[in-house]
Amino acid sequence: MQDPVITPDLIKQHGLTPEEYGRIKDILGREPNYTELGIFSVMWSEHCSYKNSRPLLKTFPTKSPKILVGAGEENAGIIDIGDGLAIAFKIESHNHPSAVEPFQGAATGVGGIIRDIFTMGARPICSIDSLRFGPITEEKSQSLLASAAVRANGGQSEIAKNKRLFSGVVSGIAHYGNCFGIPTVSGEVYFDKSYEGNPLVNAFCLGVLRHEQIARGAAKGIGNPVFYVGPATGRDGLAGAAFASQDLTEESAEQQRGAVQVGDPFMEKLVMEACLELLATDAVAGIQDMGAAGLTCSTCETAARAGTGIEIDLAQVPQRAPNMTPYEIMLSESQERMLIIVHRGREPEVKRIFDKWDLPWAEVGQVTDTGRMVVKNHGRVVADIPAKKLADEAPIYQREAREPEYLKAVRAFTLSGIADTKDAVGDLKTLLSWPTIASKNWVYRQYDHMVRDGTVVCPGSDAAVIRIKEDSLPNGKEQTPTTNHQAPEKLQAGENTNGNKVSSVEKYIAMKVDCNAGYVYLDPYEGAKAVVAEVARNLACSGAVPLGSTDNLNYGNPHNPEIFWQLRESVRGLAEACRAFNAPVTGGNVSLYNQNPSGPIDPTPTVAMVGLIEKPEHVTTQWFKDEGDAILLLGEVVDRNDPLLGLGGSAYLQQIHGLKTGAPPRCDLGREKELHLALRSLIYSGVVKSAHDCSEGGLAVAVAESCISQQIARETPRLIGAEIDLSEVKDLRLDALLFGETQSRVVISVPALQADKVLAQAKILGVPAARLGTVGGTALKINTSGGSLTWDLRELHDLWWNAIARAME
């Protein structure tokens, strides 16, 4: 088959500028051929090279005494959790593929992040996800446009399309995670018009390993053989990295339908077990998954990390389709494939393990001392490129940044034209039934969140908690037969059946993912600080101390100066907040070009944070526990220095008034950190029975969720009432009191006899605190200076629990 002639149009189709093409010619000292052009196009895409965002990423805090593998070093960061154990975790996006093929796009997003974790030598033990879609119910802000939208889409409303994407993505995540056998323990789902046609699917995975089991993705050892393991390479996923680095339009989606990979979770399970068993033999010199950019990325990156070269012959690569070209083989992103560099002389062990797990494998090349990635096909060279220049020296751009014009109106907004609520009872019902706030049980009941029996706090509380136990860890090093003959009953404590030392220490890890993108849209710097503060607050509510963070930066086209300004300012806020909470960034993902013909998505810097809970008795959940307990608020009832009283960018303004505007609540990082320290101190003292942070919907929603969110069995809620007294709060709008989203607030419950002691202790710790009321009864009652408000808990639970299911009927 004849390669096409390289023309300016072909170069443009590959997402390369004339200047970048000139740089490629300088690197090669000649014109690239078609295969080399494709290789450069994927490796120099934003998805792989971060050419528009790398200078900003360097401003993140990435150092900590606990960090064993830092950001950018390998496929995932690794943090020490004590007793010789460590955790590997990372979050990545699969946005464009999920917009085109929601089921497979989401499924392969889960598969890809799982591979990033076991590539590090860790056994994956749980996953979480962060999802964004257009509205699945008609909202105030779009009701006037609904009929026009239906006509414009030939009779299919945007809501119907959003439901299809939502259903497909959730099914894809459930399929891959459930079949692979990993619990999906937490997540978040937001619905907003800016995500119509461009959903966000951010997948996170966490794994566990011992310090000595850390694996590296470097092609070490000149002459070492290079093995390919996993299913044959096909034409699915072709140039997926390049597809993810361009604007998403209906035309590009249709053209790139083949850029969406097809996943096989059962194959991935076999690949993982084989790789972990192989890593225990010391036969592996380097290992890398074939994720974005497939065989291209895995070969050039492993060589670049080691400062070596690599040579492969594509004729040896298993191929699923006949007559595949070198271009197709190198750029394919077929799933569940790994590249493994083996110590020379250990090939028989490698083949034995792959055959044991019934996996396809092939020896495809060797490590060289040339510093070049040389690709042959039946002995003929089809690509010859300096590995380090390809992998690490993509062009870096400092894009123009300009403050968006819309922010002038945002800052000018006041409450003068917004009447105070006349129906607070109805407003709370509306907020609890808004899919963004409502229970996400329709989503997580499709996930197996109990597989492997390590889940301590299931989906539905502020943060998930997972227990790391002995069988969470990868197997230890293989022993010679003479050490394997002991009967299990004669083993010494701390040994397994192979006589290997194992840790008998159990650990409790909390994790959460968060992002209020509306805040970031209205104030990228303050909004991004609030994102980190909220996720850290959720960990504190569970009893955890932050260990580290991973982020997924989802934005529109960086060539737009206003979009790049959003990115720059929010990275500044994220970095400042991560420093404040001592939660360094261990890695993550940048996903740009997220926009549809109607415009860009709201800037969505998703942050996943992981924390450690020292003792099982410190694990805390959000729901009230016992009748008669005192309900306390840590933090100010309202920030009176905020002209909008916490209503700027609030769920209340969006849902009740159809407005997404106003400066969001200020985030004082010093005050927030003091709150977390005080909350953990109270939890450690044993007096806190429940803790729930105030976020979307404000104080009223937080208290209501504490009354209705406990599930004691499937479809069996435990409803417990509360009586709240806010009558002493004078001269304040009722909507701000109930639904304002002032930062740095947590609702806790404690034994009634301990309430005064807790309030005194909070004062000593420098945190404002007040008694709100008492747990008990069958209703939620809130007394205000203007009268008493009452809600039936069964009705509130029904609205909150079934909102998404009703929308999806």
Active-site residue numbers? 47, 94
Secondary structure (H, E, C), 142-166: HHHHHHHHHHHCCCCCHHHHHHHHH
Nearest alpha carbon to residue 563 among 401, 353, 376: 401
Question: Rounded to an integer, what distance in angstroms lies between the CA atom of residue 652 and that of residue 667?
Answer: 19
How many C-beta atoms lie closer than 10 Å to residue 794's C-beta?
13
Question: Rounded to an integer, what distance in angstroms lies between the CA atom of residue 338 and that of residue 61?
Answer: 31
* Residue 736 to residues 280, 648, 651, 652, 671, Cα–Cα distance (Å): 58, 10, 12, 9, 21
**736 with 427: CB under 8 angstroms?**
no
Structure tokens at 238: 């072709």
For helices 424-432 and 698-708, what crossing angle results, to 10°?
A: 60
By the 10 Å C-beta count (0-12 exposed, 13-18 middle, 19+ buried), 26 is classed as exposed
Amino acid, res. 86 = A
* Residue 274 to residues 141, 233, 361, 366, Cα–Cα distance (Å): 52, 19, 11, 21
Say which DSSP state 495 is in: B
Structure tokens at 192: 């907003």
* Residue 806 to residues 169, 434, 439, 801, 802, Cα–Cα distance (Å): 18, 11, 12, 10, 6
For helices 158-180 and 102-118, what crossing angle results, to 10°?
A: 40
**586 with 548: CB under 8 angstroms?**
yes
Secondary structure (H, E, C), 189-236: EEECHHHCCCCEEEEEEEEEEEHHHCCCCCCCCCCCEEEEECCCECCC
In the three-class reduction of DSSP (H, G, I as helix; E, B as strand; rest coil), residue 46 is classed as: helix
Provide CB contacts within 8 A for 696, sequence distance 6+: 431, 436, 437, 516, 650, 651, 741
Alpha helix ranges (H) inside 643-697: 651-657, 669-684
